[in-house]
Amino acid sequence: MVDESVTEPVEPAEPTFAEQLTAARAFAMRSLARRESAESELANRLRQQGFNEEVIEAVVDHCRGYNWVNDERYGGMAVRAGAAKGHGPIKIRFDLRRKGLDDMQIDAAFDQPELDWFELAFALLERRARVADLADFKLRMKWLKYLLGRGFTQDQARYAISALQEREE
C-alpha cells in the first residue's frame, strides 16, 4: 500500500517578470549607491546575479531615465580619478574601453582642459625619481619605461624627464 499523504517536493515557481524587475531594480539601486558605474558595468553585474536580458535592459533604461547611470559623467569621473592616481591617458583610455564606453564617449571624457598630461607626467616623476638618477642613461630609460607603463605617451614621458633634468641644472 502506498502512502499518499507524502507529497513530492514541489519545485519553486519561476519568478514573474514583475518580481524579477523589482529585484533587479533594488539590486541596481544598491549597487549604484555604493559607486558610480557605466551602463555596461551595471548590466554585467545584473547578469552575474542571474537576471535575464529583458529584465537587464529594462533596469538599465530605468536607471538611465533617472540619470542614475550616465556614461558621459562616468567617463569624466574616471579620467579625473585616473589622473589623480598617476595614470596616463593611454591606460585610462584602455580602462574606459574595457568598461564598455565607445570612442565618442571616451573622447568627450578626455575633453577636460584642466588636465595637462605633460605636467602630470612631470609631477609623477618629480615625486618618484631623484635628479641624480637622470644623469645615468640606464636609469633614465628605467624612468621612461616607468612612465610608459603608467600609460603616458612617449612625448609626455620624454618631456617629464627633460623638464626634471633642466629644473636641476
> Tell me: the pLDDT tens digits for 40-92?
999 999 999 999 999 999 999 999 999 999 999 999 999 999 999 999 999 99
Q: What is the pTM of this model?
A: 0.80
pLDDT band, very low/low/confident/very high, at 3 (cuts 50, 70, 90): low
If we measure between CA atoms, which residue out of 80, 63, 64, 92 comes closest to residue 152? Answer: 92
Is the pLDDT at 1 greater than 60? The verdict is no
Whether 36 and 74 have beta carbons less than 8 Å apart is answered as yes
pLDDT score of 33:
92
- What's the first-to-final CA gap in the chain, in angstroms? 102
Q: For residue 16, what pLDDT band results from cuts at 50, 70 and 90?
A: confident
Query: 3-class SS at 22?
Result: helix
DSSP annotation of 6: S
pLDDT greater than 80 at residue 34: yes
